[in-house]
Amino acid sequence: MKNVIKDLIKTTIPNQFRTKLRQHYSLYSFFGFKHKCPFCNSNLKSFLPHGLNFPVLKKKEVVAAGFRENVLCPKCGSYDRERLLYLFLIKKTKLLRQQTKLLHVAPEDKLVGLLNNQNNIDYLTADLLRKNVMVNMDITDIQYPDNSFDAIICNHVLEHVPDDQKAMTELFRVLKPNGWAVLQVPISYKLDETFEDESIVKESDKEIFFGQEDHVRIYAADYFERLQSVGFKLEIFDWRTDLKDFGGEKNLFGLNKNEKIFFVTK
């Protein structure tokens, strides 16, 4: 019977409509009430699995990296880490309520549309190489004066930057006094100290040792000391201590249970 329907669809529906039909069918197959995407409000049975599969990520239990279940929204494509960041920004900061000059480095696609449309946000997106940002910026040499921004979002960037100390110093410099930043990185709590080795340069070796072809280290908990060493005050926020705002015990929003928010202030 299934094949008969398949053949009927093949012979009667033009190709471009078949693609649409397939998308709708696959969305339908994810429909459920266990999870909800805070970006597109879809009710879902589950999110899609996603992530790189390099053994080092699993062996070192690198949080916010590696293959995991329940990551990608089948409707809008949001990632678990974007959903956590979004919820954190709206629940735990005044970003949407206060006049804010915001620097967003390597901006997460789902957030750009949202933040760009906020009247209270003077928004600057930046990236070293990407073209779909407002300015190209090397975060080890930022082209803005001291105390320029009320807030900075710079996630999953520092693990790509060889001189991360310089980058942190620059981010601290351009942040206004009392300003805040979210500086997420993949991190392993199994490592005693951050693993980095300048002699590892080949992409295939970086995949083996760092878990991604363009990473230059795997951070350990000493990441926090690095942040504090340039002057930041650090608060680590664990969403599981605030289940009311973050989707409850059943993890409605499909967040990574081990991911914490690294929130710094100047």
Using rule CB under 5 A, residue 114 touches Zn ion: no
How far is it, in rounded angstroms, from Cα 246 to Cα 248? 6
Using rule CB under 5 A, residue 232 touches Zn ion: no
Using rule CB under 5 A, residue 86 touches Zn ion: no
Residue of 76, 90, 128, 234 that binds Zn ion (CB under 5 A): 76
Residue of 30, 40, 128, 208 that binds Zn ion (CB under 5 A): 40
Structure-derived torsion over alpha carbons of residues 236, 221, 163, 158, reported in degrees to the nearest 10: -50
Nearest approach, Cβ of 17 to Zn ion (angstroms)?
Answer: 24
User: Binding segment for Zn ion among 24-32, 35-43, 101-109, 251-259 (CB under 5 A)?
Assistant: 35-43
Three-class DSSP category at 172: helix
Nearest approach, Cβ of 186 to Zn ion (angstroms)?
Answer: 23
Structure tokens at 148: 């320029």
Nearer to Zn ion (CB atom), residue 78 or residue 155: 78
Residue of 36, 37, 62, 264 that binds Zn ion (CB under 5 A): 37
Residue 62 backbone dihedrals phi, psi, to 5 degrees: -75, 120
Question: What Cα–Cα distance (Å) separates residue 99 from each residue in 85, 119, 188?
Answer: 19, 8, 36
Nearer to Zn ion (CB atom), residue 39 or residue 210: 39
Nearer to Zn ion (CB atom), residue 42 or residue 212: 42
CA torsion through residues 132, 134, 136, 140, sign: negative
Nearest approach, Cβ of 74 to Zn ion (angstroms)?
Answer: 8
Question: What Cα–Cα distance (Å) separates residue 245 from each residue in 93, 94, 236?
Answer: 13, 15, 16
Using rule CB under 5 A, residue 39 touches Zn ion: yes
Nearest approach, Cβ of 36 to Zn ion (angstroms)?
Answer: 9
Do 118 and 131 touch, CB atoms closer than 8 A? no
User: Binding segment for Zn ion among 5-13, 15-23, 40-48, 166-174 (CB under 5 A)?
Assistant: 40-48
Using rule CB under 5 A, residue 134 touches Zn ion: no
Q: Where are the alpha helices (DSSP H) in 163-245?
A: 164-174, 203-210, 223-229
Rg value, the chain, Cα: 21
How far is it, in rounded angstroms, from Cα 228 to Cα 264? 9
The residue with its CB nearest to Zn ion is 37
Nearer to Zn ion (CB atom), residue 39 or residue 149: 39
Q: Tell me which residues touch Zn ion (CB under 5 A).
A: 37, 39-40, 73, 75-76, 78
